[in-house]
Amino acid sequence: MTGIRDRITETDPGKVRGVTQGEVVSFRGIPYAASPVGALRFAPPQPHPGWSEVREAVQAGPAVPQAASRLERVMGTRVPDWNEDGSLTVNVHAPLRAFEGGPTRPVLVWWHGGGFTSGSGGWDWYDGGRLAALGDIVVVTANYRVGPLGYLYLPEIGAENLGPQDQAAVLRWVRDNIASFGGDPRNVTVGGQSAGAYSALSLALDPQTSGLVSRVLLQSGPFGLLPQDPQNAAKHAEAYLRLLDVPGGADAAKVLRALPVERLLSAYGRLAGQLARPGNAAPPMYPVLGCPGVPRDLQRALADGALEGKSLLIGTTRDEATAFTAFDPRIQHLTASGALDLLTGQLGEQAHEVYQRYAARLPQATPSQVFTAVQTDELFRNGSLRIADHHAAGGNATYVYQFDYQPAEDEHALGATHCGELPFLFNTFDAYPDSPMLGRPTDAVRTLGHTFATAVAEFVTTGSVSDWLPYTPTTAARIRHFD
């Protein structure tokens, strides 16, 4: 089927008009909550007031206000497209056949990464149309508040884990509306990459949202990063208010809601600069323990069985941390003692033993490369494997992958870096022109993307992958490699 045709469907707030392109109908920029402006800035998401006429849903809504991603040199640059007004939106991509009767389709709700500081579900990087067509599934992406707008910790004004609260609102929107797009609200996989994977796991574990989740897809989650301690979050909030010259307490709300959003972003950037340490991936503000969305430690929730009964697909790229170290001269010029000093700040007494073990495993590696390998495992791989081990040991369907693709021309020695699998999942290779992590997508590269995306779509549909052995605890042979 060719051509472009309008398609109108009903949602609780009102009717929306999407566009049919080939075998997929896409609805972009549908509000799932009221605009977080004025009195709703730094407030939990509120229902959208709705609309009476048919709403055009052809273009994605604006991104949430944010600074440029620190991974632009890896992924590619983006033209700023943010606006606080109208930023809380979803994008729904559904097979055309889903509107022609028959069974409802499985749903994938997928969260973008960006270190809890940047990103947008509406960017062409994450366009779900091709994945929806390939797998005959409904794909949903969404915006959630990031940076200070989403993670400032000021509970006295109602600001606590607003980003996770936005994500929970999206899941409730899916529950209430996805049937209008041919999706099955009782068959929802929640997935995401990096910070999005962290968010997906949190939603699957939180008693407030776990019942809305059937399966879980976790790509390169930074599970070595513990939820932020409330005391540290409060200190960062105090430092942020000082940079803005805003008084603390309840009076802060009125002032913060009146400031230009550019000032909020500028102060956040200065705070990030003050807190930055080489190799430290933690942003100034991210999910806070004990607040909405993260009521308890993720590892404790897993140990208590909060993920039991949900199929899991989890994986990492082979060289995750190069995305954070390859362009940092402070790390590229590390000496062995300098690398050990940085690791001591992260690992404490274990640092020396860990460094020596990795140096022996990588005898030709520079101190920078050893440090990067440790970072890959400590922040990404080890935590993912611990989750997989625990889940599989409980008899739950568990599938583990490692993405090993690296571009043929790898002048920055990125290897198979963080975010490298994203164009493969969504078949959005053309959205990454001149991206160092991708290189030039040959026919073989596109075939690899088809293989990877097909496996993910099958998991979303059935909770298993037919030609992929389920993972068993600590069994490396059961890890599927994509290269």
pLDDT tens-digit readout, 440-475: 999 999 999 999 999 999 999 999 999 899 999 988
Structure tokens at 318: 């082979």
Q: Is 106 helix (H, G, I), strand (E, B) or coil?
A: strand
The amino acid that residue 51 corresponds to is W
pLDDT band at residue 1 using 50, 70 and 90 as cut-offs: very low
Residue 353: count other Cβ atoms within 10 Å of its Cβ. 10
The catalytic residue among 35, 418, 421, 435 is: 418
Structure tokens at 155: 């509970």
Q: Are 417 and 322 within 8 A, CB to CB?
A: yes
Q: Is 390 a catalytic residue?
A: no
What span, in angstroms and rounded, lies between the C-alpha atoms of 113 and 2?
Answer: 33
What span, in angstroms and rounded, lies between the C-alpha atoms of 216 and 310?
Answer: 7
The whole-number pLDDT of residue 115 equals 96
What span, in angstroms and rounded, lies between the C-alpha atoms of 144 and 119?
Answer: 9
Residue 479: count other Cβ atoms within 10 Å of its Cβ. 16
The catalytic residue among 35, 69, 120, 194 is: 194
| CA 431 remoteness from chain centre | 18
pLDDT in tens, 370-423: 999 999 999 999 999 999 999 999 999 999 999 999 999 998 999 999 999 999
The whole-number pLDDT of residue 40 equals 98
The whole-number pLDDT of residue 442 equals 95
pLDDT band at residue 281 using 50, 70 and 90 as cut-offs: confident
Would you say residue 3 has pLDDT above 60?
Answer: no
The whole-number pLDDT of residue 319 equals 98
pLDDT in tens, 66-91: 999 989 999 999 999 999 999 999 99
pLDDT in tens, 183-222: 999 999 999 999 999 999 999 999 999 999 999 999 999 9
What span, in angstroms and rounded, lies between the C-alpha atoms of 400 and 476?
Answer: 9
What span, in angstroms and rounded, lies between the C-alpha atoms of 322 and 144?
Answer: 27
What span, in angstroms and rounded, lies between the C-alpha atoms of 3 and 21?
Answer: 6
- Mean pLDDT for the stretch of residues 333-343: 92
Q: Is 418 a catalytic residue?
A: yes
Question: Mean pLDDT for the chain?
Answer: 95
pLDDT in tens, 95-150: 999 998 889 999 999 999 999 999 999 999 999 999 999 999 999 999 999 999 99
Q: Are 55 and 16 within 8 A, CB to CB?
A: yes
The whole-number pLDDT of residue 248 equals 82
Q: Are 323 and 418 within 8 A, CB to CB?
A: yes
Would you say residue 2 has pLDDT above 60?
Answer: no
Q: Is 450 a catalytic residue?
A: no
Would you say residue 239 has pLDDT above 90?
Answer: yes
Give start and end residues of each alpha helix (H) in 333-471.
Answer: 336-347, 351-361, 367-375, 382-393, 422-426, 443-462
The CATH class given to the 4-225+291-322+387-482 domain equals alpha beta
The catalytic residue among 84, 160, 320, 458 is: 320
Q: Are 369 and 359 within 8 A, CB to CB?
A: no
Domain chopping of the chain, boundaries: 4-225+291-322+387-482
Q: Are 74 and 419 within 8 A, CB to CB?
A: yes
The whole-number pLDDT of residue 5 equals 67
The whole-number pLDDT of residue 4 equals 56
What span, in angstroms and rounded, lies between the C-alpha atoms of 124 and 430?
Answer: 9
SS3 readout for 222-288: CCCCCCECHHHHHHHHHHHHHHHCCCCHHHHHHHHHHCCHHHHHHHHHHHHHHHCCCCCCCCCCCCE
Q: Are 63 and 146 within 8 A, CB to CB?
A: no
Q: At what angle do helices 230-244 and 261-275 cross, to 10 degrees?
A: 120
Q: Is 407 helix (H, G, I), strand (E, B) or coil?
A: coil
Q: What percent of the chain has pLDDT over 70?
A: 99
Would you say residue 57 has pLDDT above 60?
Answer: yes
The whole-number pLDDT of residue 364 equals 92
pLDDT in tens, 398-412: 999 999 999 999 989
Instruction: Give the H or E element holding residue 90.
Output: strand 89-95
With CA atoms as reference, report the closest residue to 146 among 31, 38, 274, 264.
264
The whole-number pLDDT of residue 251 equals 85
